[in-house]
Chain A
Amino acid sequence: MNTLSAVWTWLTTAANWSGENGVWNRLEQHLVLTFSCLVISALIALPVALTLGHLGRGGALAVNLANIGRAVPTFAVLVLLLLTPIGRYGQWPTIIALVLFAIPPLLTNAYVGMREVDQSVVRAARGMGMTGTQLVWRVEVPLAFPLVLTGIRIAAVQLVATATLAALVGGGGLGRIITAGFNLASTPQVVAGAVLVAVFALLMEGAFELAQRCAPGWARGRIR
């Protein structure tokens, strides 16, 4: 009970929200980091996945990347990158680690989405005389879109979580409120930070859920 009220007091204190170490600044850092990394990893992963999916090669690569990605601790990669020469360039270790971990879900989902397109539809499109490029953009990508979107959603939520871990190696973001709380041995601040991070992650998930619900039918995979 005591902790709960202390957490509430922390959250309702205006001083904790403003300034360099305040919630708003940390939230902004978190958002910028998440979205820039999402864009970078999508720019890397999606072209590769769509090409491989269209050609029907590299399935083993996609699945193995996803499996290896699970076994490697994000925290370890963050620290390893921090200790290499890259570590001297501010945010770069964090960005590289985040991008590395966002690529597997994007790649796997887009690849599987492309492969699961009904082959009779592909044959019909070829029969109509579509070229490879036309086939990709007019048939395969629209049909694979729901799974590609799921991949982006998983990557985004994962990025929010990983951006939190960046605080452990001295990066910015909402995780910093938690680590600062640990350093101050202030349980209310730790818990308040955790609540903020959890709410942010759930909001991200919820926003994607909502976007997918409101999206036109073809983006949800209704039309087959």
Chain B
Amino acid sequence: MTAPPPDDCLARNDWICGDYLSTRRQILLDAVGQHIQLTVISVVLGLVIAVPLALLARRRRWTVGPVLGITTVLYTIPSLAMFSLLLPVYGLSATLVVVGLALYSLTLLVRNILAGLDGVPAEAKEAARGMGYGPMRQLLTIELPLAVPAAMAGLRIATVSAVALTTVGAIVGYGGLGNLIYAGMNSFFKAQVLTASVLCVIIAVVFDLLLLGAERLLTPWRRAGRRTRGRTRAGAGAKRLVTAGRRT
């Protein structure tokens, strides 16, 4: 145990190990690639479903209750159960993980898009109508852009949660970095578990910053009024955090 085998950090099974990074670079890159792919596809899928749902709920008020109710019920189901419930439909596939994660993002996205649309000032809509805008043009050029900040808040939470949740996909073999954590647990490979966990957090933080940057680019008008409105917006953000739980 001491002399014959090379006395490097891999042999000692250290938590932090440079040799691990250099020898398993390809495995790590593949896992990161799969992780990012699963996360992005599922959040985009969630967005594609959430926007029409939110618009429907806005147009026909009676659908608000059922839409929010069903998405909340889906959100309550634990991730391990969600992936398992979809098993007969999709089998052991990446689609299963993507669909499960997309279902989770629905609650956050629909709620926030609706909140954003509801928060559009009545004066802005009246002004648009006064200028002769039709309903479609009003929606596309006035209401949706003004709903962007609230929607982006939901999108950021949904994306960060999806990055963390993807790891559970390891149960069906499509968990990105979760696969490495799962394998590392079974072989007591400390460096692999720690490296994969840290990479997960880094991916989440990078996505969050990217979306924050995108939000700033999409809403140039907010920078001008930031000084006066910043305070109330921050307050609204805190409130939103309170009502949305975390997925596990």
Interface residues of A (CB under 8 A from B): 3, 59, 63, 66-67, 69-77, 79-80, 82-83, 101, 104-105, 108-109, 112, 147, 150-151, 154, 157-158, 160-162, 164-165, 167-169, 175, 178-179, 181-182, 187, 190-191, 193-195, 197-198, 201-202, 205
Contact = CB atoms under 8 A, between A and B. Distances in A.
8 contacts: A71-B204, A72-B164, A76-B200, A160-B78, A164-B79, A167-B80, A190-B84, A194-B81
Contacts of A63: 238, 241
Given A71-B164, A71-B204, A104-B246, A112 B238 contact: yes
Interface residues of B, number: 48
Contacts of B185: 79, 82-83, 169
A59 B157 CA distance: 19
A186 to B, nearest CB: 11
Interface string B191-223: 001101100110011001000000000000000
B21 interface: no
Prevailing SS type, chain B contact patch: helix
Given A76-B181, A112-B239, A162 B77 contact: no
Given A73-B168, A80-B197, A201-B81, 14 more contacts: A66-B241, A73-B164, A79-B182, A79-B184, A83-B185, A101-B246, A160-B78, A165-B79, A165-B248, A175-B81, A178-B84, A190-B87, A201-B76, A205-B76
B36 interface: no
A167 B247 CA distance: 17
Prevailing SS type, chain A contact patch: helix
Contacts of A178: 80-81, 84, 171
A71 B201 contact: yes
